[in-house]
Structure formats: C-alpha cells, structure tokens
Amino acid sequence: MKQKSIFINASGEMKSLNELTYNDLKTLVDIEEGYIVEYKSTFDSSVKKKIPQIFSSFANSEGGWLIIGVDNDTKGLLKIEKERTDFDVTITNLLNKVTPKPKYECKFIKEKDEDKDGILVIYVYKGEDTPYIANGTVYIRSGSSKVPITSDRATIDTLYRRNENLQQRKEEFSSTNMDIDYDYGPLLEIYMFNRDNMNIELYKNSIDRQNLIEIKSKIINFAPKSIVYPSVDSIIIKNNDFTNINTTTLYIEMYNNSNVKIHIPIYMFEEVDKEQIIYNISKFNNNTYEDLEYYSFIDAYMLWKTIYGSISGIYEILKNNSINFNDYEYLLEFNNIKDSIFYINNKEFLEHIKKNGLPIVKHNNYRTKYIYIIETVEDALHIASKLFFQIVGKMWGYFPNELIMIMKKLIEKNK
C-alpha cells in the first residue's frame, strides 16, 4: 500500500517512512493537524488509551500520520523517551482492542545516534478490510479529529463495500490451483496476496531474458536445479530435483501484480530412515508406540528449510522492485497430511513427545484464513518464522515458543 506522505525530498517526490531523518521532522512546523495528520506531545497512558480510536479512524478513512513528541500548537520537537519495550510491541498490544487490526509502520527517529530521546513517527495505512472497530465503535476522520459513526448508514455501507471488494480479490486469487499434481504426498500451498496489487505492475510490457536471469540468480541457493520461464502474466519457478521420494516438486508462480503462489512438497523420511525413527521413539518412550509403522514421518527441518529458502528468494526479487512486504497477507493450505507425524531429529523432540504425546494430524486437508503480520516486517527470516512456527507448527499441535525451542539447536547445527 502506498503512503500518502507529508514529507517531500529535494526532487519534489514524497518520502516514505523508512527514508525519514530527524531534519525532515523540522518541516512539520508548516504542517497543520488535519485529515491525515495528528500530533501528540507525549506517549503517556492517556495517549495510549486513544491509540485504538486513532488507528481505526485512519484505517477507515484514507490512512494517515500520527507523530508523537511534537507540540500540538507550535510544532516544536519536544521528543519522548525511548521505551524499554520496542514500540512495535507496545502498539501491537494496544491494538488488541481493534478488530480487525489495521496495518501500520513506525519509526523512532533520533537527532543523533547516541541520543535516548526522539520522535515516534507512525503511518497507518488506508484499510481495505473495513470497517475497523475500536472498543465496539467505528471511527472515521473528520477534519483533524476522529469521530464515532452513530447512524450514518451511507458511510457504513461504503466501508462494507470496500471490504467486499478486497474479499472478492483475495478469494479469486486463492481459488485457482497451480499446475501440479495434488494426489501424491503431503503438500503445502502458500498464497501471498498483496493488498495494494491493484496499482502494481512489476514488468511493464513483457518479461524479457534479463528478468529471468535476475530471478534465476536469486533462487539458485535454495533451488539450484530449478528452471525459470514466463507465463502470460507471471513468472514460474520450478525445481526439477526429483531425488526425494515425493514425485512432486517446489513450484513458485510470481504474478505481474506481485501476488505469489508457492507449492511446497512436504518431504517425508524414506522407509530406511523411518525404521530408525520408530526405534528411537520407542526406545526413548519405553516401547509405548507399537503402531508407528502406519504413520508417515514429515521431515520438519527440511520443511523449514524449504519455506525459508523460498521466502528468501522471493523477498530478494520483490525487494529489488520496491515492493513493501508489510502489504502482504498469507493463506496456507495443507493437503494429504492425514496420519502424519511432524518429526524433529533431536533429543529435545523425544523429550517433548514423552511429556506431550506424538504430534499427529488426523484430518487430510486444512486451509487457514488470510493472515497478515501486523508488526513491521524486517526481512525474509521474519516472514518465514511467522509462517512456520505460528501456522505450520500449530497444525501438529505445537505452541510457537515450544517449537522454537525444539528446532533452535537443529537449525543452528545445520547452518
């Protein structure tokens, strides 16, 4: 989503939040509070209490800037103290009272690196998943204020139509299957939907050879045997490595509007490895598991590696095209996963199942709702970790912190 910036560079172009410096904030003296700008002099409890209403009013309207540490009247830079807790964490907690959660970015800007005090600059994006409701009330912007909607049916209808348009676009995107075989082995589909994709065109007229060379260079680390070729409105990346027992393969389709579909085979241990795994589990758990031969064992580390590698390659490609990863929502779909065990090859896993039992899935297919990462996306690792530890792990009954502790040593060992 594009920021309607109030900051301009020397060339007369709008500056985004991540480009701002302390000197840019001095121009606020000429910018009055209004429809897309609100100032707060402090970040005390009274301001924090108003955060849900302010954010929802911006999201229900056209988006806007909340700047904290600025005098409301003079626009002088008063500065606020940097909190011990990251501002992203604090704001995310405050937004627990808003449904759905509006998208935002924030940056704490200091005059000098060694300074402890600075200005907190927040940009709240115009929302599509409207209406955003704070404490049971819908707020919109009116001049420089946030006002509750009481009986304005026309405004409410407009907000719902905006939401319906977004939901229709998401449903259309995630209803089309990729050109792969869904009948063999456990599979994971990841749909990356860019909420601002109506205004994006990555490759203006056609996908030329240079585009393909660039993309190939970005994915070589995680899919060295892949081929890259253009389709009508997308680029397809397909890995031709069939050395695993799965007959399907990694398949990525990146659309011209920056939407992405990822098809990941969920790799299973082969029979020779399965026998050793069953022996290890039974020995560690005093032979309490005698029917393990009827289950399939998923290689958790390989799945993590494939998700992270795929997201990293996509991140590098889209980053070069100035795509904002805070604009994405993610839908995950699991296929053919019934009677599968999420196996992690270390002692921590064996200790976990001794206490909690085996993580077995008893249904065949599952599809999540679209989710988005509310805090500022830092890098590909941030995205992959959210998807793997909070969504994939949940399928097999893990709490995020639980899975992180079990996987941590294994990931470090295989770096």
Give per-residue pLDDT as tens, 286-344: 756 567 888 889 999 989 988 998 898 888 878 777 777 888 889 999 999 998 989 98
Contact 268, 293 (CB under 8 A): no
How many CA atoms within 13 Å lie on the side-chain side of 135? Answer: 11
Q: Which of 142, 164, 186 is the last residue of a domain?
A: 164
Within-domain flag for 2 = no
Within-domain flag for 8 = no
Residue 91 belongs to domain with CATH number? 3.30.950
Within-domain flag for 310 = yes
Residue 68 confidence class, pLDDT cut points 50, 70, 90: very high
What's the structural domain count of the chain? 2
Residue 245 confidence class, pLDDT cut points 50, 70, 90: very low
Q: Give the whole-number percent of the chain exceeding pLDDT 90.
A: 20
Give the pTM: 0.69
Within-domain flag for 5 = no
For the chain, helix, strand, coil in percent to 5 are 35, 25, 40
* Weakest-pLDDT range from 89-103, 109-123, 139-153, 293-307: 139-153
Within-domain flag for 11 = no
Strand segments, DSSP code E, in 1-54 are 37-40
Task: Reply yes or no on whether the pLDDT at 199 is more than 50.
Answer: yes
Are residue 266 and residue 189 in the same domain, yes or no? yes
Are residue 78 and residue 181 in the same domain, yes or no? no
Residue 40 confidence class, pLDDT cut points 50, 70, 90: very high
Are residue 366 and residue 258 in the same domain, yes or no? yes
Of 316 and 106, the structure prediction assigns the larger pLDDT to 106
Q: How many CB atoms lie within 10 A of CB 276?
A: 11
Task: Reply yes or no on whether the pLDDT at 101 is more than 60.
Answer: yes
Are residue 183 and residue 316 in the same domain, yes or no? yes
Which DSSP helix (H) or strand (E) runs through 232? none
Are residue 156 and residue 240 in the same domain, yes or no? no
Cα dihedral angle (326, 62, 156, 259), rounded to 10 degrees? -30
Are residue 160 and residue 245 in the same domain, yes or no? no
What is the domain range of residue 206? Answer: 176-413
Three-state DSSP class for 226? strand
Of 249 and 136, the structure prediction assigns the larger pLDDT to 136
Residue 246's contacts (CB-CB under 8 Å, 6 or more residues apart) are 184, 185, 265, 267, 268
Are residue 187 and residue 276 in the same domain, yes or no? yes
Task: Report pLDDT digits (tens) over 69-99.
Answer: 998 888 889 999 887 778 888 998 899 889 8
Are residue 317 and residue 190 in the same domain, yes or no? yes
Are residue 245 and residue 185 in the same domain, yes or no? yes
